Amino acid sequence: MHRRTGALIGALMLFAVRGSQAEEQRCAKAKYSDEHFHLTNYVQEGTRLQDYIGMMGTDVCRSTVFGIPLQQMWQFGNTGDFAPSYYLQTDAPLYYYSFTDAAIAMAYKSLPPEQQARLDPMITGFNPADMYAADHIKRVLTIFPGVFSGIGEFSIHKEFVSSKVAGGNATLNDPALDRILDFAGNVGLVVILHNDADVPFPKPNQEPYQLKQLGELFRRHPATTIIWAHAGLGRIVRPVKEQLAIMDRALGDPSLNHVYIDISWDETAKYITASPEALDATAALINKYPDRFLFGSDVVAPSSIEAPMKVYDLYGPLWQRLSPEVSHKVRLGNYERLFDAARIKVRAWERANVK
């Protein structure tokens, strides 16, 4: 390692330690850090970042912030004067909206440093089926250095959404996706990836081929920190047969030790809290792998803290089944560890590559 690079990383680590001490004091009463938060909706409208900081108060320590990479088209021939703001309100297609990254960056840069320190913006405005997507991510980092900690949430296979995307669907075995994850690993960006565990309405005994492809994708990128959103669950995508056992084997596999799972979204909570048996089994898995799970709300453009807090409260029975140490890691500690590391690596890459 060059002396200058080593000194830079050392300085960044010292800065992170000091920041962590200040964060520990600020977050002493916090209930969680939000690993999965959408600032805007499917028509790029939403919560002002300044307002969200106010909502966080003392309940939320830190939070990712990202838009939604897809814009819902308003086709007059489809809905007339009704302007849809959600993808289920119309048959009109969705298209990738890259300006979301600039909007997030400018909102972040308008905040004072002490508020910026509580947020981890993410890059989302790229098409994962585009070989140029990695170039977009690099361009965003070079235009807005000092802002972003990761990429995502972005989707590959997602119920109701994938089939609506204009220009064709993304796939797990696309070289464009490999380029994205290679670049993220090289820079140190955290990746939040949505991919359903199974197809909607699978046939009896149908193999969940998406899980197999997902595992192969993860293994191709051992240097990339990847968070699998919602454990692959959805509105109608239910847990696959023996999903917890499959996750147990995956989390115990050394070739997948760079992969993490978030339990964001109230739709995910409905499966985990569906019965005492489901809660006990999920808690046992999290207690076994306490460093590999993160909480997120996955709310979209909320007007108050009530929406994300509702998701947090849904998991009340789960928090009670985790040991205090494990509960703290899932709600706060794992976020801090992963995103503090990302901040150090990404800022070092920017200093080495941005003129």
HSE (CB half, 13 Å, CA atoms) of 239?
A: 18
| Phi, psi (deg, nearest 5) at residue 171 | -135, 160
Q: Which residue, among 70, 57, 65, 136, has the nearest Cα to 106 in the 3D structure?
A: 65
Residues in the chain, how many?
355
**pLDDT score recorded for residue 22:** 62
Q: Which two tokens stand for residue 147?
A: 């802002």
Read off the DSSP letter of residue 66: B
Q: Which two tokens stand for residue 246?
A: 């499959």
Sign of the torsion formed by the C-alpha atoms of 216, 219, 220 and 225 = positive
**pLDDT score recorded for residue 18:** 56
Buried/exposed code over 297-328 (b: 16+ C-beta within 10 A; e: otherwise): bbbbbbeebebbbebbebbeebbebbeeebbe
pLDDT of residue 24 exceeding 80: no
Q: 34: which strand partners?
A: 63
Radius of gyration in angstroms for the set of CA atoms belonging to the chain, rounded to a whole number: 20
Pairing, β 190-194 against β 293-294:
unpaired
pLDDT of residue 46 exceeding 60: yes
Q: Which of 9-23, 49-63, 195-209 is most confident?
A: 49-63
**pLDDT score recorded for residue 16:** 54
**pLDDT score recorded for residue 11:** 55
Q: Give residue 10's pLDDT band: very low, low, confident or very high (50, 70, 90).
A: low
Residue at token pair 């609506």: 164
Average the pLDDT over 5-21 and give the result: 56
Could you list the beta-strand ranges (E) of the chain: 32-34, 60-65, 70-72, 94-96, 119-123, 150-155, 190-194, 226-228, 259-262, 293-294
**pLDDT score recorded for residue 1:** 47
pLDDT of residue 6 exceeding 60: no
HSE (CB half, 13 Å, CA atoms) of 75?
A: 12
All domains in the chain, ordered by first residue: 3-353 (3.20.20.140)
Average the pLDDT over 281-287 and give the result: 97
Q: Give residue 167's pLDDT band: very low, low, confident or very high (50, 70, 90).
A: confident
Average the pLDDT over 1-12 and give the result: 54
Are the C-beta atoms of 296 and 309 separated by less than 8 Å?
no
Q: Which helix (H) or strand (E) holds 341?
A: helix 334-353
Count of Cβ atoms closer than 10 Å to residue 14 Cβ: 10
State the average pLDDT for the chain: 93
pTM: 0.92
How far from 121 is each of 102, 249, 278, CA to CA, in Å? 11, 32, 33
**pLDDT score recorded for residue 23:** 65
Residues 217-260 have pLDDT tens digits of: 999 999 999 999 999 999 989 998 899 999 999 999 999 999 99
**pLDDT score recorded for residue 279:** 97
Residues 168-205 have pLDDT tens digits of: 889 999 999 999 999 999 999 999 999 999 988 888 88
Residue at token pair 């920017």: 350
**pLDDT score recorded for residue 17:** 55
Q: Give residue 27's pLDDT band: very low, low, confident or very high (50, 70, 90).
A: confident
Pairing, β 190-194 against β 226-228:
parallel
Q: Considering only 10-14, 185-189, 287-291, which range has the smallest mean pLDDT? A: 10-14
**pLDDT score recorded for residue 4:** 54
